[in-house]
Amino acid sequence: MLHGRMASVTLRVVPRASRPGVEAGPDGVVVRVRAAPEGGRATEEARLALAGALGIPKSRVSLRAGARSRIKVFEVRGLDVQDLEMRLRAT
């Protein structure tokens, strides 16, 4: 059973980026990270960047799918879909 609000976001991770950051546009959410896609480092950096962009603690963001893919689904606890979309548009 799930308690509280929860939303998920599907995004694309771009590893080895020269300018890291989170961008939300008409084509979806893109997270650019400096880390290489080895040993889960790019995924972890993307999780931390997403939490920072949303202004929430990193413990509330967890990977749901896509550990070995550039397309990932993260679960965000404590935000509903509307809050999530509003915060991503502000990035």
Pairing of strands 28-32, 21-25: antiparallel
Distance between CA atoms of 91 and 79, rounded to whole angstroms? Answer: 16
Domain ranges of the chain: 6-89
3-state SS assignment for residue 42: helix
Token pair for 25? 């546009």
* Category of 14 on φ-ψ map: left (φ > 0), alpha (ψ -120 to 50) or beta: beta
pTM here is: 0.90
* pLDDT tens column, 10-27: 999 999 999 999 999 888
Residues 67-78 pLDDT 10s: 999 999 999 999
**Three-point CA angle 36, 63, 40, nearest 5°:** 25
For 6-89, CATH gives: 3.30.1200.10
